[in-house]
Structure 1
Amino acid sequence: MLITRVRPGLYLPTCAILWSGVSATTAAVTSPGQLFGVQFILGIIEAPLFPGAVYLMSCWYTRRELALRTALLYSGLVLAQAFSGLIAAGVFSGMSGAAGLRGWQWLFILEAVLSAFFALTAYFILPNYPHSKTGGAMWSMTEDMRRIAVARIEADRVEQPTDSTVWQGLRLALTDVKTYIFIFMNIFMTSSYGFNNFFPTMVRGFGMGSSTMALVLTAPPYILGTAVSFGVAWSSDRKKERGFHIMANNCISIVGFIISVATLNTAARYTAAFLYTSGSFSANALVYTWAVSSLGQTPEKRAAGGAIVNIMGHLGNVMSPYFFPDSDSPRYTMAMILQIVFAGLTFCMAFTSKTYLRRQNKKLRTAADESGQVYNPFTT
C-alpha cells in the first residue's frame, strides 16, 4: 500500500539495493541462528518487489495487456531458477577455495553484486506513474503522452473510481469477496508447485549424472516453462480470458505429476518435469494478474488487494517444504499426490472465480443499460 504514496522509481530500486546487501551477508553466517536472522530480514525487504512491480504495471497497462507483461516479470523468477543451477555449477567447480571462500559463499556474493548493479540502473529507467512528470524515464514523455496513458487506464476500469485513502483502500479490498476467492486460488496455486524449491534434488534423484550435471539439467524445464508462459499469457490477453487458461494449465501440471509418481523411469520422469513446470509457471503468472486487474476500483484498493493476495499466497510456500521428506526420495509420492490435489483445487477456484465474475458482468450490463453508461466487464 505504501507504493501508492511514494515514487516507485525510487522505492523499488532502493528495496533491491537493500536486499542485495543483506543477501551478500549470507556469505558470512556461521550458525543456523544467524542464517535465520538474515533470511528473515531479507524476506521483509524483498516482499515489496513483486506486488509493487505488478501494481506499477497495472497503472500503465490495460487488463488486455497486463498478463503478458506480468509473465515477462515472472520469467525473471523462473529464469533465475534455471540459470542459478548453471551459475552454481560453474561457481562450485571454478571458484571454490578462491580467496579462502567456499563456492556457496561466492555464489551469494556474486548474485548480490549483480542485483545491486541492475537496481542502480533502475533509478534511471524505471518510470513513476503516468501522471508523474519526473523520475526515471519520465523525462522522455510529453504532456500529451502522459495524458493518453492516464486516460487509457481510467477507461479500462470496471468499477467507478472514488476518492480513497490507504486505509479506505484496505477496507474496500477486505470487504470484496473477490479478494478471498483469489487468496485461496493463490494459496492452492503456490502449494501446487512446491517442487520449485526442491527441483535440483528431484533431478539428482533421476540418476542422470553427477551433482553438477543435475544442476545443469534443471535449466531446460525452466526455460521451456518460461517460453510456454509467454505464449499462454499472450493468448490470455488476446482472448481477454483468464479462467480457462489457468484451468488448462492446471490439467497439464496434473498430467506431469501423475507421470512422475507413477514410474521411476528416468526419461519419463524428466519429460514429466517439462509438463508440470510449464503448466505451473503459466498458471501462476495468470492468477496474480487476474487478481490485480479484478480489484481495481481505486489505486489503493488495487495495491492493498494485490498485496493481500500475494502475502497470503506465501502460505503455500510455508506448507510445501513439508511435502518433500528425505524418506520419500526419489519418487516423492506424497509430494506429487498433494500437488495433484492442490492443482485440482486451483482449477476449482478458477472455475468459481470465472462463474462469479460472469454473474457480476450480467449485473454490470443491466446497470449500464439502465444508466446509459459504457459497459466495461470484468475479465473472466
Structure 2
Amino acid sequence: MNSEKMKKQNDVDAADDFDSIAEEMPVNADFLGESYMAKEREIVRKLDMTLMPIIFLLYMFNYLDRNNIAQAKLDTFEEDLNLTGSDYSTAVSIVNVGYILMQLPNNMIITKIRPSLYLPFWVCVWSCVSAATAAAQNFGHLIAIRLILGVCEAPFFPGVFYLLSCWYTRKELALRYAFLYSGLILATAFSGLLAAGIFSGMENTLGLPAWRWLFIVEGGISLGLGVIALMLLPDLPTSLTGSGKWLFTAEERRITIDRMARDAVSNEEDDKSIRHGLWLAVTDVKLWVFALMMCSNQTSYGFNYFYPTIVEGFNLGTRTITLTCTAPPYIVAALISYGIAWSSDRRKERGFHITTPVLIAIIGFIISIATLNIPARYVASFLYVAGVFGANAVVFSWAASTLGATPQKKACAMAIMNLCGQLGNIWSPYFFHDSDSPRYARAMVLLLVFSALQAALCCLMKWLLARANKRLVQWGQTAGVEPNLYTL
C-alpha cells in the first residue's frame, strides 16, 4: 500500500517538474517556422548519435546470442551434446516459445516502467544465460537454457521498437528501423566471420571445444554493452529520466512532445490504461493483418538458422571458407535494406516497398528449387536473403505508425505482432530435413508460399488503409480540419 502511494506521489512530482519546465520555456513567434524545424533536426541528430548506435549494437548481439547455434552446428556441437534427428530443430524453435510467453506481458510492463532501466537489465540477464550454453552437457540442458534465453530476450525487440516509435515521427521511422534491423542482418553476416576466427584460434583453449568459447565470448560482449546502455537509453519524451534528462533542453523536450502529438493519425481515441490499450489493439483488424504479414515474413526466412549448412552443401572448401562465404549475402542485404527504407521514407510509401523485395525473394527461392548448379544457387541466396530482410524493416515501421493510437495500444500491438511472427520461427526450422540436403527443395517451396502470402497481405493492408483514409477525409471536412492520414 505504501509503495503504491509512493509511486503516485512520484508521478505527481514528475508531472509538476515537467509543467514547470514547460512554463519556463520561452515562446517562439515562429513556433512552426524555420527555427522550430531547426530544433527538430537537432533533436533527431541527438537521438541518432546516442539512442541509435547503442540499440543497434544491442540488437546485433541480441541476435548473435540467439543465432550462434547455427555456427556451433558446424563444430562438434551436435556430437558433444548427443543431438540426433530433429533435436537441433527443436533447440532452434524452443527459444521462440519463451518469446511468445513473455513478449506481450513485457510490453505492457514497459509502458509503466523506465525503459532505460528495464531494457538494459534484460540485456545483462540474457547475456549470462547465453554464455551458460557453454556449460550444456546434453539435449535437456540445451533445451532448458534456450527456453530461458527466449524468456529473457523477449522484452528487447518489441520494447526497442516501441521506444523508437515514441521518439521518431512516421516519416523518420522506416530508415531508423532499417538501421536497427540491419543489426540483425549484419549479426548474421559477421557471426560467420567471428565463428571462423574463434574456431581456428580457440579450439581446446583451457580444454574447451571452440563452440563453447563462441557462446562465452559473445555473451561477455553483450553483457558489457548492457551496462553501457544504462547511461545512453532515454525514457519516454514526457519523462525527466534516462539520457533525455541530460541530452535535451527543456525547450527540446517540449518540441519533442509537440511533434509526436502532431504526427499522430487524426481522430483516434486516447486512453492511458493498459487494459484499454490492449482492447484497442486486439479489436483493430489492421493489427491481425500486420500480425499475419509478420508471421509470413518470419517463416520465409526460416533458412537463416540453416544457411551455414546450406552453404556447406555447396562444397566451396574448408569450414573457414564456408563460414566466410555466409557473410556476403547478408552484407548486400543490409545495404539493400537501407536503400529500401530510405526510399520508403522519402516517398512516404510502404506497401510497394514491401512487395517488391518479397517478389525478389520469391525469384531466389524458385532458382534454388529449379537447379542444382552451385553458382546459380549461391546467387539465388543473395536474392532471397536480401528480399526477405529488405521487406522486414518496412513492415515494422508501417505497423508502428499505423497502430499507435496511444502508447499503450502501440506497445500491446507491437508485442502481439512480434509474438505472432515468432510462430513462423517455431515451425520453419522443421521445414529443413537432413534427407533433403543440400537442395532443401521442400523447405524452399514452403518459404516461397509464405513469401507470396506476405505480398498478398500487404496488398490487403493498402486497401484497408485507403478506405480508412477516405473516412478520415470525410471526418476532416465535417470537423473543418485537415486530418493526418495513414501512410500507404
TM-score band by shorter chain is over 0.9
The 2-side partners of 1:197 and 1:64 are apart by: 33
Question: Contact 1:133/1:139 (CA < 8 Å) preserved in 2?
Answer: no
Partner of 2:206, secondary structure, is helix
Q: How does 1:199-210 map to 2 (within 5 A)?
A: 199-210=307-318
Counterpart of 2:148 (choices 41, 46, 53) is: 41
1:172 aligns with 2:296: no
> Would the aligned equivalents of 2:178 and 2:341 in 1 still touch at CA under 8 Å?
yes
Out of 294, 298, 310, the position equivalent to 2:406 is 298
Partner of 2:345: 237
Match of 1:248 among 356, 372, 381: 356
C-alpha distance in 1, partners of 2:430/2:159?
29
Q: Distance in 2 between matches of 1:77 and 1:337?
A: 24
1:86 corresponds to 2:204 = no
User: Is residue 271–residue 277 contact of structure 2 (8 Å, CA) maintained in 1?
Assistant: no
* 1:227 alignment partner, one of 335, 338, 347: 335
- The CA deviation at 1:373 is 2.2
Q: CA deviation at 1:104?
A: 0.7
1:166 Cα deviation after fit = 0.8
- Cα offset for 1:136? 2.4
Q: Give the residue type in structure 2 aligned to 1:243.
A: G
Aligned residue for 2:442? 334
User: Which of residues 131, 147, 167 in structure 2 aligns to 1:60?
Assistant: 167
> What's the secondary structure of 1:338's corresponding residue?
helix
SS across alignment from 1:173: helix
Say whether 1:284 aligns with 2:386.
no
Counterpart CA distance in 1 for 2:260 and 2:349 is: 19
Q: How far, CA to CA, are the matches of 1:164 and 1:5 in structure 2?
A: 10
Q: Which residue of 2 aligns with 1:162?
A: 270
Which residue identity is paired with 1:155?
R
Mapping of 1:173-212 within 5 angstroms? Answer: 173-212=281-320
TM-score by length of 2: 0.77
What do the CA deviations read for 1:5-30 (whole angstroms, capped 9, x no partner)?
A: 11111111111001001111111111
**SS of alignment partner, residue 203 of structure 2:** coil
Does the CA-based 8 Å contact 1:328-1:334 persist in structure 2?
yes
- Amino acid paired to 2:349: E
- 1:378 paired residue number: 486
- Structure 1, unaligned runs of 5 or more: none
Residue identity matched to 1:118: L
Deviation at 1:75, TM superposition (A): 1.1
Residue 369 (structure 1) aligns with:
477
Give how far 1:98 is off.
0.5
Deviations along 1:215-235, one digit per CA (max 9) or x if unpaired, are: 110000001101100110111
1:99 pairs with 2:222: no
- For 1:50 and 1:232, locate their aligned partners in 2 and report how far apart those are by CA, in whole Å: 21
Partner deviation per Cα, 1:65-118 (whole Å, 9 max, x = no partner): 101111111111111111111111111111011111110110000001110111
Aligned match for 1:149, one of 249, 253, 256: 256
Task: Name the aligned partner's letter for residue 370 of structure 1.
Answer: T
SS of equivalent residue, structure 1 residue 145: helix
Q: Cα deviation per residue 1:279-304 (whole Å; 9 max; x = unaligned)?
A: 10011111122112111111000000
1:322 and 2:416 are equivalent in the alignment: no
May I ask how many residue pairs the two structures share in their alignment? Answer: 380
The answer to whether residue 147 in structure 2 is matched with residue 31 in structure 1 is: no
What residue number does 1:112 align with? 219
Q: CA deviation at 1:133?
A: 1.6
Equivalent residue letter for 1:43: G
Q: Distance in 2 between matches of 1:290 and 1:22?
A: 33
Partner of 1:136: 243
> Which structure has the larger Rg over C-alpha atoms?
2
- Aligned 8 A contact 1:128 1:138 in 2: no
Pairing 1:264–2:352 present: no
CA displacement at 1:137 relative to structure 2: 4.6
- Structure 1 counterpart of 2:161, one-letter code: V
Counterpart of 1:119, as a letter, is: G
For 1:350 and 1:59, how far apart are their aligned partners in 2? Answer: 24
Could you tell me how far apart the structure 2 residues matched to 1:135 and 1:184 are? 35
Unaligned segments of structure 2, at least 5 residues? 1-107
Tell me if the contact between 1:26 and 1:105 (Cα under 8 Å) persists in the aligned partners: yes
Which whole-Å CA distance do the structure 1 matches of 2:169 and 2:247 have between them? Answer: 21
Equivalent position SS for 1:100: coil
Q: CA deviation at 1:48?
A: 1.0
Separation (CA, whole Å) in 1 of partners of 2:396 and 2:427? 19
Match of 1:22 in 2: 129
